[in-house]
Amino acid sequence: MKKLSYLFFSCILVLGVSCKENANSNTNEVVTSKLINKSDIERIEPPNWWIGFENDSLQLLVKHKNIGNYTPSISYRGVSIEKVSKGNNSNNYLFIDLVISESASPGTFNISFKNDNGDELIDVYQLKERVKPAEDYIGFNSSDAIYLITPDRFANANPDNDTPIAMEGQEGLLEKTVDRNDNYARHGGDIEGIINHLEYINDLGFTAVWPQPMLINDMKEGSYHGYAITDLYKIDPRFGTLGEYQKLSQKAKEKGMKLIMDQVANHCGLEHWWMKDLPFKDWVSLQENYEKNIDNWDWKSTINSNHRRTTNQDIYASQYDKDGNSQGWFVATMPDLNQRNPFMAKYIIQNSIWWIETAQLDGIRQDTYPYPDKAFMSNWAGAIMTEYPNFSIVGEEWSYNPLLIGYWQEGANNRDGYDSNLRSPMDFAMQQKVVEAFNEEESWDKGLVKIYEGLANDFHYAKPKDIMVFEGNHDMSRIFTQLKGDVVNTKMAVATYAMMPRILQMYYGTEILMDDFDKPGDHGLIRTDYPGGWEGDTVNAFTGQGLTEDQKNMQSFVKTLLNYRKHSKAIHDGKTVHFAPFMGTYFLFRSLGEETVVMIINKNEKPITIDLKRYAEIGLDGKTLTNIITGDSFTWKDDIDLNEKGVLILTTKAN
Residues that bind Ca ion (CB under 5 A): 156, 158, 161-162, 188, 190
CA–CA separation, 449 and 436 (whole Å): 10
Q: Which of 429, 370, 470, 425 is nearest to 148 (CA)?
A: 470
CB 585 within 8 A of CB 610: yes
Q: SS3 of 608, please?
A: strand
Q: Looking at beta carbons only, is 162 or 466 nearer to Ca ion?
A: 162
- For 584, residues 6+ apart whose C-beta sits below 8 A from its C-beta are 442, 447, 448, 602, 603, 604, 608
The sheet with strand 585-592 has its strands ordered as 575-578, 585-592, 595-602, 646-651, 624-627, 633-635
Q: Looking at beta carbons only, is 84 or 167 nearer to Ca ion?
A: 167
Q: Looking at beta carbons only, is 188 or 279 nearer to Ca ion?
A: 188
Q: Which of 22, 127, 26 is nearest to 78 (CA)?
A: 127
CB 343 within 8 A of CB 361: no
Q: Which of 228, 338, 236, 224 is nearest to 287 (CA)?
A: 338
- Minimum separation from the CB atom of position 165 to Ca ion (A): 14
Strand (E) or helix (H) holding 97? strand 93-100
Distances (CA, A) of 393 to 138, 329, 363, 505: 11, 24, 6, 14
Q: Looking at beta carbons only, is 191 or 467 nearer to Ca ion?
A: 191
Strand (E) or helix (H) holding 586? strand 585-592
- Minimum separation from the CB atom of position 156 to Ca ion (A): 4
Roughly how many angstroms between the first and final C-alpha of the chain, as a whole number?
Answer: 41
List residues with catalytic annotation: 367, 396
- Minimum separation from the CB atom of position 529 to Ca ion (A): 12
Q: Looking at beta carbons only, is 150 or 326 nearer to Ca ion?
A: 150
The sign of the CA dihedral 527, 530, 531, 532 is negative
- Minimum separation from the CB atom of position 297 to Ca ion (A): 31
- Minimum separation from the CB atom of position 158 to Ca ion (A): 5
Q: Looking at beta carbons only, is 190 or 466 nearer to Ca ion?
A: 190
- Minimum separation from the CB atom of position 227 to Ca ion (A): 19
Residues in the chain: 655
